[in-house]
Chain A
Amino acid sequence: MIWLTWRQHRKQALYTVIGLAVLAAFIVPTGVAMHRDFDRLVVKGCATSTPDNPCDTFHDFSTTYGSYIYFCVLLLVVPLLFGLFWGAPLIAREIEQGTHHMIWTQGISRRRWALTKVGLLGGAVTVLAVVYGLGIAWWFEPLGYLESRFDEIFFDVQGVAPVGYTLFAVAVGIAAGALVPKVVPAMAIVLPAFIAARIAVALYARPRFATPVTNDFPVIAGDADGGGGMQVGSWLLNSDIRRPDGTFVSSGAMVCPPADATECLGGLSADLRNRQVFQPADRFWTFQWIEAGIFTALAVLLVWLAIRRVRRII
């Protein structure tokens, strides 16, 4: 069975490795350059300043590499590609070509056939996704000072979350292929199902993984307590300006130095307060594991349903 699985899927494994190699050909040199320049311009060049209060060379770094963060939007589709090209054809292609009648009437049970194929491909996909996720996390490290790695999109392309997404996408493909045993319709199911699940979790579930922290600080503040203590790398969920009784004035934040407060406030009351709701930066990996866990659990459920379904296919 191992040989058979390898023989059947070696071509797509080759294409995948080529695809990831092309990705690595971009990620590795740019990552090395970014790390080197970050070290030179920010760590050494800004020895006296903090990341919260960056120095001029930090701006050099940011203008050189700032545009790289948009590359992350492209990376969002990587798990989907696994779902389309690894998941959907796994069962659907066998049935579409009628070869399930041939392989299921040899000496092994369908259950074993399905478990072996899903197990081997799932294992291979996991390994590739872990390499991918940790690779992107390494690449993103310097950029994390420009855009928090905890924010949507950046959270989704690095660490262990993409491993969960990839397994989920493959499982959706397998289940769709067992349900509608044709490759193209199965692919057509993967697309909206994957996107819907991702959006639902990212928008509605993820902010609630842990109770967010609320920061309350006056609009007139010195450099020492400016920003209200929200660390770099936190995930800002909501930020607004309110009156002391809690009524809403405006969204955003405002910090005015005590020296020229009147001019800065421009007629606004001086007792307004900033209110920031956020997930602290040190929860990043907890959230990563929760996110990966949710999608891995969904993947296991879908694979279980698909294997049950395989026993009813004719």
Chain B
Amino acid sequence: MRGQEMEHVLEAEGLGKRYGARWALRDCALRLPTGRIAALVGPNGSGKTTLLHLAVGLLRPDAGAVRVFGETPYENTTALADIGFVAQNTPVYRDFTADELVRMGGKVNRRWDATLARTRLAQAGIPPHTPAGKLSGGQRAQVALALALAKRPRLLLLDEPVASLDPLARREFLQSLMGSVAESGTTVLLSSHILADLERSCDFLVVLQAGQVHLTGAVEDIVAAHQQLVGPRHHGEPIDGVATVVRARHTDRQSTLVVRTDGPVTDPAWTVHELSLEDLILAYLAGSDTQSNHEAWGVAA
């Protein structure tokens, strides 16, 4: 019945959220297809957490709408049942043991797979009767993930789950995450600013910058559509096959451009290089100007 709608688990249209006079998120349009593992990327304060809180129904939009499985998530426990959420810093009750947290989940959720949670925690080597406050950051993140997965969600939202973890714990966390969502076909939206991790694990990308979506799409399409061009000093004239220049760096004689292409770049003046996902994201994030900061500090740019 809802087959057509189900192509996108998460849809946002003109979505905006304001704190006082400042828009944390503005005019955000986003469609997240089913079954993807999507990375939500952006610098601190770009609106990643706000977007995730809107999607999980902790916040009500000030403009536009967000839909999860066709439903508005704000104060909607029906929608909430299908969403697993791991908040920033993976908060859990610090005086509860992992075993008690699993028990708690059963009390506050209609659908709850305690066996799944216990199996995952056993695999991750989490002691069942130690208070969560005494676990390491990596272990606590594993507990929070196990709790989110025990809801058997169709959409899993994670807000910087690996930010505070060391590289080894980070890799273990992402591996166990990928392993479990691959089995269940859960769609994942994962915010992070650790780009190298995302490149390994994600197949969909959303780039946020200053509260707006700058780039969204499947990773393979995005990588295929962007190239780095090195050639003579460029002054903004059109280049064949280039749709937009994302970022340009110039020396006196030479220009290095990161571009989105709409066809093959055949001009022999330009040397074409492939871009890694990380370089591409950085090009988008660095593309926005830093002028306003210089003004605010009262110094010359």
B81–A110 touching, CB < 8 Å: no
A314 pairs with B93, CB closer than 8 A: no
Chain B residues in 8 Å Cβ range of A110: 75
Known: A106-B80, A110-B75, A314-B59. A101 touches B107 (CB 8 A): no
Is there an interface contact between A1 and B108, defined as CB atoms closer than 8 Å?
yes
Measured between beta carbons, the chain A residues less than 8 angstroms from B109 are 106-108
Q: State whether A108 and B75 are in contact (beta carbons under 8 Å apart), knowing that A101-B91, A314-B53 are contacts in the complex.
A: no
Please give the number of chain B residues whose Cβ is less than 8 angstroms from any Cβ of chain A in the complex. 32
Would you call B53 and A97 a contact (CB within 8 A)? no
- A98 cross-chain contacts in B, Cβ below 8 A: 87-89, 91
Interchain nearest-CB distance for B249 vs A (Å)? 39
In chain B, positions 71-104 with a C-beta closer than 8 Å to chain A are: 75, 77, 80-81, 83, 85, 87-89, 91-96, 100, 103-104
Are B144 and A105 in contact, with the CB atoms below 8 A?
Answer: no
Residue pair A102, B91 in contact (C-beta under 8 Å): yes
* Pair A8/B85 contact, Cβ less than 8 Å: no
Expressed in whole angstroms, the Cα–Cα distance for A109 and B56 within the complex equals 12
Question: Does A107 contact B81, Cβ atoms closer than 8 Å?
Answer: yes
Tell me whether A102 and B58 are in contact (CB under 8 A). no
A25 to chain B, nearest CB (A): 29
Q: Which residues of B contact A105 (CB under 8 A)?
A: 56-58, 80, 83, 85, 87
A-B contact count (CB 8 A): 68
From A10, which residue of chain B is reached at the shortest CB distance?
B95
| Shortest distance between the CB of B57 and any CB in chain A (Å) | 7
Q: Are A97 and B80 in contact (CB under 8 A)?
A: no
Closest A-B pairs by Cβ, 3 of them:
A101-B87, A98-B91, A107-B109
Q: Which residue on A lies nearest to B110, using beta carbons? A: A107
Q: Looking at the assembled complex, report how far the CB atom of B70 sits from the nearest CB atom of chain A, in whole angstroms.
A: 19
- Asked whether any CB of chain A lies closer than 8 Å to the CB of B35, the reply is no
| B33 interface contact, C-beta 8 A | no
Within 8 A of B (CB), among A77-113: 97-99, 101-111
- Residues on B with beta carbons closer than 8 Å to the beta carbon of A14: none
A97–B81 Cα distance when bound, in Å, is 23
Give the chain A neighbours of B59 by CB distance below 8 A.
Answer: 314
Distance in Å: Cβ of A313 to nearest Cβ of chain B: 9
A7 to B103, CA, bound (A): 11
